Amino acid sequence: METLSVEDGTLEQWGPKELYEAFQRGEVAIIDVRTPQEFAFEHIKGALLSPLATFDPATLPSQEGKRLVFHCGSGVRSRRVAEACLRSGHDRVAHLEGGFAAWKGAGLPYVAIDPATGGQHVVGGRQD
């Protein structure tokens, strides 16, 4: 994990493998800030959806016991959301550096639509 000093605090940037491991241990909540359409097509199983277009830091789940880690497609939107959370007074936020593209590039599991059947299936990684 890399930490960056930004205007309103410290922003954590997580790599995909360290995020996956922390998620498996139940230490983080992953929040997807992509559009509902992007999320429906493919997403990290167990991630919560809070699209950037309607994002409000006041409606985030409690951070008690878990760090919030935001992700989007490339890391640009998730960083904007994380910085907005810092501005609103949240102090334990982070984002996935490189976004969902980095997650998939690391071969980690995600849920996707099977174009042949229209059903969902797990792609990559272990299928638990």
Q: pLDDT tens for residues 66-105?
A: 889 999 999 999 999 999 998 888 877 899 999 999 999 9
Token pair of 5, please? 């000093």
Q: What DSSP letter does each residue of 87-107 carry, written as one string?
A: HTT--SEEEETTHHHHHHHTT
Q: Of 110, 104, 114, whose CA–CA distance to 126 is shortest?
A: 110
Tell how strand 48-49 and strand 28-32 pair up: parallel
Digit-coded pLDDT (tens) for 13-66: 999 999 999 999 999 999 999 999 999 999 999 999 999 999 988 888 766 778
* Domains recognised in the chain with CATH numbers: 2-121 (3.40.250.10)
Cα separations (Å) of 48 from 33, 36, 111?
9, 11, 13
